[in-house]
Chain A
Amino acid sequence: MTIAARVDRPRVSAVSQASGPDTQPLRRRARRRRRLTALAFVAPLIAYLAAFYVYPLYRNLDLSLRDYTVRSFVAGDAPFSGWDNFQKVLDDPTFGPAMRHTMVFTFVSIAFQYVIGLALAVFFNRHFRLAPTLRALFLIPWLLPLIVSASTWSWMLNSESGVVNYFLHFLGVGPVGWLTSPDWALTSVIIANIWIGIPFNLVILYSGLQNIPGELYEAASLDGASAWQQFRRITFPLLRPVSAITLLLGLVYTLKVFDLIWIMTKGGPGDTSSTLATWSYQLGFGTLLPKFGPGAAVGNILILIALVFGLLYIRVQSGQRRQEA
Chain B
Amino acid sequence: MTSHRKGSRRYTGRKGSRRYTVIGLALTALMLFPVYWMLNVSLTPQQDMRKTPPDLLPLHPTFEGYRAVLDDQLPYLGTSLLIGLGTVALTLVLAAPAGYALAKLRPLGGGALGLFLLVAQMIPGIVMAMGFYGIFLDAGLLNSWWGLIIADSTIAVPFGVMIFTAFMSGIPGELIAASRIDGAGTFRTFWSVVLPVSRNAVVTVSLFSFLWAWSDFVFANTLDGGGDLRPITLGIYKYIGNNNQEWNSIMATAVVASVPAAVLLVLAQRYVAAGVTAGAVKD
Is the contact region of chain A dominated by helix, strand, or loop, or is it mixed?
A: helix
Q: CB within 8 Å of A: which of B83-129?
A: 93-95, 97-98, 100-102, 105-108, 110, 113, 115-116, 118-120, 122-129
B157 touches A45 (CB 8 A): yes
Rounded to whole Å, the gap between the CB of B222 and the closest CB of chain A is 6
Rounded to whole Å, the gap between the CB of B265 and the closest CB of chain A is 6
B159: interface (CB < 8 Å):
no
B281 touches A134 (CB 8 A): no
A215: interface (CB < 8 Å):
yes
Q: Mark B210-249, 1 if CB is under 8 A from A, else 0.
A: 0100110110011000000000010011001000000100
A128 touches B180 (CB 8 A): no
B281 partner, pick from A35, A74, A208, A310, beta carbons under 8 A: A208
Tell me the nearest residue of chain B to A276, going by C-beta: B124
A46: interface (CB < 8 Å):
yes
B257 touches A145 (CB 8 A): yes
Identify 7 new A-B residue pairs, CB closer than 8 A, beyond the known A126-B17, A200-B276. Answer: A42-B107, A127-B12, A137-B265, A140-B32, A252-B122, A259-B218, A303-B127
Q: In the complex, identify which listed stretch (A21-29, A89-97, A280-288) lies at the interface while the others stay far away.
A: A280-288
B185 touches A5 (CB 8 A): yes
A146 touches B215 (CB 8 A): yes
B108 touches A35 (CB 8 A): yes
A161 touches B52 (CB 8 A): yes
Give Cα A225 to B97, complex, Å. Answer: 52
24 pairs, A vs B, C-beta closer than 8 Å? A13-B181, A37-B186, A41-B97, A41-B98, A46-B113, A49-B157, A52-B153, A56-B130, A126-B17, A127-B5, A140-B261, A143-B265, A148-B254, A151-B254, A155-B41, A161-B49, A199-B276, A217-B4, A218-B7, A242-B281, A245-B280, A258-B126, A299-B124, A303-B127
Q: Which A residues form the contact surface with B (CB < 8 A)?
A: 1-2, 5-10, 12-13, 34-35, 37-39, 41-42, 44-46, 48-49, 52-53, 55-60, 63, 73-74, 76, 120, 123-131, 134, 136-149, 151-156, 160-161, 163, 166, 195, 198-200, 203-204, 207-208, 210-215, 217-218, 221, 242, 245-246, 249, 252, 255-256, 258-259, 263, 277, 280-281, 284-285, 292, 295-296, 299-300, 302-303, 306-307, 309-311, 314, 317, 320-321, 324
Give Cα A163 to B126, complex, Å. Answer: 32
Q: Which residues of B contact A143 (CB under 8 A)?
A: 211, 261, 264-265, 272
Tell me the nearest residue of chain B to A161, going by C-beta: B50
B108 touches A39 (CB 8 A): yes
A211 touches B283 (CB 8 A): yes
Q: Count chain B residues whose beta carbon lies closer than 8 angstroms to a beta carbon of A.
A: 115
B37 touches A299 (CB 8 A): no
